[in-house]
Amino acid sequence: MKKLSLIALATAMCLSGGIAAASRYGLQDPQTSIARDIYSLHTLILWICVVIFVAVFGAMFYSIFKHRKSVGHKAAHFHENTTVEVIWTVIPFVILLGMAYPATKTIIEMKDTSNPDLTIKATGYQWKWGYEYIKGEGSLTGVSDGVSFYSNLSTPQEQIHDPKVQKGENYLLEVDNELVVPVGKKVRILTTAADVIHAFWVPAFGVKQDAIPGFIRDTWFKVDQPGVYRGQCAELCGKEHGFMPIVVRAVSEEEFKDWASKQKPAAVAAAPAADATQVAAVAPAADATAAAAGPVDGKKTYEGLCAACHGAGIAGAPKVGDKAAWTARLAQGDATLAKHAIEGIRAMPAKGGNPALSDAEVKAAVEHMVGLSK
Amino acid sequence: MEAVHGHDHAHDHHHPTGITRWLTTTNHKDIGSMYLWFSFTMFITGGILALGIRAELFQPGLQLWKPEFFNQLTTMHGLMMVFGAIMPAFVGFANWQIPLMIGASDMAFARMNNFSFWLLPPAALLLASSFFVPGGATGAGWTLYAPLSVQQGMGMDLAIFAVHIMGASSIMGSINIIVTILNMRAPGMTLMKMPLFVWTWLITAYLLIAVMPVLAGAVTMLLTDRHFGTNFFNAAGGGDPVLYQHVFWFFGHPEVYIMILPAFGIVSQVIPTFARKPLFGYASMVYATASIAILSFIVWAHHMFVTGMPAAGQLFFMYATMLIAVPTGVKVFNWVATMWKGSMTFETPMLFSVGFLFVFTMGGFTGLVCAVAPIDIQIQDTYYVVAHFHYVLVAGSLFALFSGTYFWLPKWTGHMYDEKLGKLHFWLSMIFFNMTFFVMHFLGLAGMPRRIPDYSQQFADFNMIASIGAFGFGLTQLIFLAVIIKCIKGGPKAPAKPWEGADTLEWTLPSPAPYHTFETPPVVK
């Protein structure tokens, strides 16, 4: 029974940890309303489980000590009791209803990504994150539009590989460029990936969302307090999966605006490829031109769809920026190119496989690509 | 017995000896033994891989392995334990016990039975040898999620073929089990008189037939995406990476119950035997097993709450998953009620069954925590989930397998096992198991992702405890091996019915069970 007391002790530690909000034994200190909901849901269910656990195993251990042959207990011979069986089927069902109600409310809140103040696209790469502050609805639109950067692990390699080197305080949870967000504002995160599935996870925000190549998913958070919050990629994505942390710095709105204005010119000039949505990441150089010259809609369509094949020259698609591949095609004239793109040609499906696009959007995308490839 | 079985003995003398005996055997007992030895071998192999994982995680920093090899260790540990150790072990039990418990002379398709087993060693060799091909074994995780699995080297192809072969083996084994149970029961043994182990296997076999082809489909699509230009899981070609997860988990969740229902069956034989009291609520046990099996088909996407499914999807899969707690609860209550007012003794099989009940239920509770979608979103892909499924797979399936092994060893070998060593095996397993996996709950809640070779410093102490526990647990299993070998080689003669409270048909046979049994079916009243 030593084990039992060990487990009881550990369970008690777990609980007291939870109550004292010490992240050591329980969930991290919640920093958003969603994380708080998750935290209290977990506490509620843990307590319900503890009560049931004590009741069931109290009975079992009582039986183990009292109803054993060595103390001379004679076996009874009952083997069913419909009333009891109905009771212990119905009661758990009712308890489950009690758990499902708050859980349902939380799910609906988590899924409500409407009316954000700021929208940021997080792109998972093997093995780093790319962030792009994009134009969207909300009070902070315009402040940081177009700011984009990569975020790499900044822990020195020798700390990882050399046991003699002292590891830093935020070992493996530190990056070169932190994601900066304003406190008290609803931030919508769009996730996608360039290669394999990653997952954007910040435990203190109660936010975890897979980043899936070729698709956009979204989630949101509104941070209460300024501070630095650390998370990690949560979906196995290859060899450096353990080495692509997420660090979010939450600052006041003023500081955020200040930070954004400093980032913007530099970001446009350098314009890393953080905004490539699709399987094939576009070369940073091509992207810089795009940011400067390309018509906005065409660029968006290109990056969201066409770049999947034209970015890398997949399935016979002429690669954007590859002059040789484009010369013969350009000779056919813009109208023919647009027609082919709208109707589909060879391996290319009509409108690149997205019938929701208007002809004008496809044309704009073609013009954008032509502009990059002349 | 001599007079009755004179004919069998003639048979005994004619069957081939040496390796040919094992290659050509169609005897359910021989095949059962081979399954059990095969799964034990895989258990040790998968265990060594696990120790490789725990050794690297002993402290922060990369000491032993490159990250890509670490991923290969986690992946192959999972594949080998699920497909090589746990599943074949239960099939081994089915082979040995189902004919004995229903009074049949052998399995229905004896030759197919031989083939089902002999497919497994080549599959295991494919898996094991994939470590030595260029690029090494697959490191995409045992779930083999696309597109990561599409990126892998040829080790991935070997794993795909291994899964195909093991799937074929499982399907044949299941057909055999279903036909045997439905057609070869002794006169008078109606379905509702079958021992619960037979019932759980009947239901499990149906699950296997339903979902193994789905897994085969998923990995075949992977194979064609990898080599033949299809785009099932590639968005750029009109596919969807999430499709893989839907197909995989449509197999994967019933698979979870495939690995636990026969364990429920074993425990349902052992507890009444040592409580000297009939199983409480036999009928409700059967219905609960069937309900769990049916529910298992409509809960798969609870593995995918963070893929970004709509709120309605999350709600449906959350409610359906929570419902599973009801029949599972019924089972736990029934077992406790079976013990209640019994006259219990605690030989090793009983210890492992009670241990199963206690620790498996903890895994059930964390399962409930994981079922609640908002909490799951927080703890998915963390060590909390690792703790959860090891509580149900190790403390659940594996402890039940140990319990069953000790329970039936006297029947299989004709000798009693060493009770002292058996009890030592139980207590050490229990202590080290909890030492390894209990602390993982804390790690997961505090935010340590699974499948990472290195971690930040706040996770260091619990990882060290878990690693020490894992090595303790691994070494403890050598005691199990010693008990088995000792029991096969000798020991006190086992009577036909070594357990006072046992009442199923196998205990009417002498120990060890003769090579051929129940050629004239017994009559069940």
* Ranges of chain B whose pLDDT falls below 70: 1-14
Which pair of tokens denotes residue B27?
């005897």
The pLDDT value given to residue A10:
53
In a domain, A279, yes or no: no
Using the beta-carbon criterion (under 8 Å), do B456 and A209 form an inter-chain contact? no
In a domain, A54, yes or no: yes
In a domain, A209, yes or no: yes
- Alpha-carbon distances of B82 from B87, B148, B296, B398, rounded to whole Å: 6, 21, 17, 11
Please indicate, yes or no, whether residues A201 and A136 belong to a single structural domain of this protein.
Answer: yes
Q: How far apart are the first and last CA of chain B?
A: 22
Where is the domain boundary, A264, A283, A306? A264
A18 versus A231: the higher-pLDDT residue is A231
pTM over 0.80: yes
CA Rg, chain A, in Å? 28
Where is the domain boundary, A110, A127, A162? A110
Please indicate, yes or no, whether residues A172 and A306 belong to a single structural domain of this protein.
Answer: no
Percent of chain A at pLDDT > 90 equals 59
The domain that holds A360 is classified in CATH as 1.10.760.10
Contact B147, A196 (CB under 8 A): yes
Please indicate, yes or no, whether residues A138 and A166 belong to a single structural domain of this protein.
Answer: yes
How far is A242 from A235, CA to CA, in rounded Å? Answer: 10
A interface test, pick of B226, B271, B456, B459 with most A CB neighbours within 10 Å: B456
Which pair of tokens denotes residue B411?
């029947």
CA Rg, chain B, in Å? 23
Sheet with A148-151, edge to edge strand ranges = A148-151, A128-134, A118-125, A187-193, A217-221
Contact A188, A218 (CB under 8 A): yes
The pLDDT value given to residue A11:
52
B 446-505: CB under 8 A from A: 446-447, 449, 451-458
Output phi, psi for B404, to 5 deg.
-65, -40
- Sign of dihedral through CA atoms B478, B483, B485, B486? positive
The pLDDT value given to residue B13:
54
The pLDDT value given to residue A215:
96
Please indicate, yes or no, whether residues A224 and A132 belong to a single structural domain of this protein.
Answer: yes
Which pair of tokens denotes residue B363?
């895994």
- The residue type found at B166 is M
Query: What confidence category does residue A315 fall into, taking pLDDT thresholds of 50, 70 and 90?
Result: low
Tell me the residue range of the domain where A327 lies.
Answer: 295-373
Comparing CB atoms, the residue among B279, B339, B456 nearest residue A172 is B456
In a domain, A342, yes or no: yes
Helix, strand, or coil (residue B461): helix
Please indicate, yes or no, whether residues A156 and A96 belong to a single structural domain of this protein.
Answer: no
A274 versus A234: the higher-pLDDT residue is A234
What would the pLDDT profile of A255-300 be if each residue is shown by its tens digit? 999 999 988 655 444 444 444 343 333 333 334 333 333 344 677 7
How far is B502 from B507, CA to CA, in rounded Å? Answer: 7
Please indicate, yes or no, whether residues A101 and A123 belong to a single structural domain of this protein.
Answer: no
Output phi, psi for B281, to 5 deg.
65, 50
How far is A46 from A316, CA to CA, in rounded Å? Answer: 56
In a domain, A219, yes or no: yes
- In A, minimum Cα distance to B66 occurs at A239
Please indicate, yes or no, whether residues A133 and A183 belong to a single structural domain of this protein.
Answer: yes
Minimal CA–CA distance to A174: which of A279, A84, A245, A240?
A: A245
Which pair of tokens denotes residue B124?
């295991």
How far is B375 from A31, CA to CA, in rounded Å? Answer: 15
What would the pLDDT profile of B316-349 be if each residue is shown by its tens digit? 999 999 999 999 999 999 999 999 999 999 999 9
Output phi, psi for A127, to 5 deg.
-140, 85
Using the beta-carbon criterion (under 8 Å), do A213 and B147 form an inter-chain contact? yes
Q: A236: part of which helix (H) or strand (E)?
A: none
Comparing CB atoms, the residue among B141, B242, B368 nearest residue A49 is B368
The domain that holds A66 is classified in CATH as 1.10.287
In a domain, A208, yes or no: yes
Please indicate, yes or no, whether residues A251 and A304 belong to a single structural domain of this protein.
Answer: no
* Residues of B forming the active site: 77, 106, 142, 169-170, 253, 255, 257, 268, 302-303, 328, 331, 450
DSSP string, B206-259: HHHHHHHHHHHHHHHHHHHHHHS---TT-GGGT--HHHHHHHHHHHHHHHHHHT
Pairing of strands A227-232, A245-251: antiparallel
* Mean pLDDT value of segment A231-240: 96
In a domain, A368, yes or no: yes
Contact A10, B438 (CB under 8 A): yes
How would you class B13 by CB atoms within 10 Å of its CB: exposed for 0-12, middle for 13-18, buried for 19 or more? exposed
The pLDDT value given to residue B8:
46
- In A, minimum Cα distance to B458 occurs at A24
Q: A365: part of which helix (H) or strand (E)?
A: helix A359-373
Where is the domain boundary, A247, A264, A281? A264
In a domain, A286, yes or no: no
What would the pLDDT profile of A326-353 be if each residue is shown by its tens digit? 777 777 777 787 778 887 777 677 777 6
Contact A222, B319 (CB under 8 A): no
Please indicate, yes or no, whether residues A136 and A244 belong to a single structural domain of this protein.
Answer: yes
The pLDDT value given to residue A350:
74
pLDDT at A19 over 60: no
Please indicate, yes or no, whether residues A141 and A188 belong to a single structural domain of this protein.
Answer: yes
What would the pLDDT profile of A167-182 be if each residue is shown by its tens digit? 999 999 999 999 999 9
Comparing CB atoms, the residue among B71, B235, B283 nearest residue A215 is B235
The domain that holds A201 is classified in CATH as 2.60.40.420
- Alpha-carbon distances of B212 from B89, B199, B226, B247, B252, rounded to whole Å: 17, 20, 21, 11, 9
Output phi, psi for B260, to 5 deg.
-115, -30
Please indicate, yes or no, whether residues A141 and A239 belong to a single structural domain of this protein.
Answer: yes
pLDDT at A7 over 90: no
- In B, minimum Cα distance to A354 occurs at B238
Contact pairs from chain A to chain B, CB under 8 Å: 300
pLDDT at A60 over 50: yes
Output phi, psi for A286, to 5 deg.
-60, -35
DSSP string, A156-184: -HHHHH-TTSPPPTTTTS-BSS-EEEETT
Helix, strand, or coil (residue B469): helix
Number of structural domains (chain A) is 3
Helix, strand, or coil (residue B22): helix
Please indicate, yes or no, whether residues A144 and A217 belong to a single structural domain of this protein.
Answer: yes
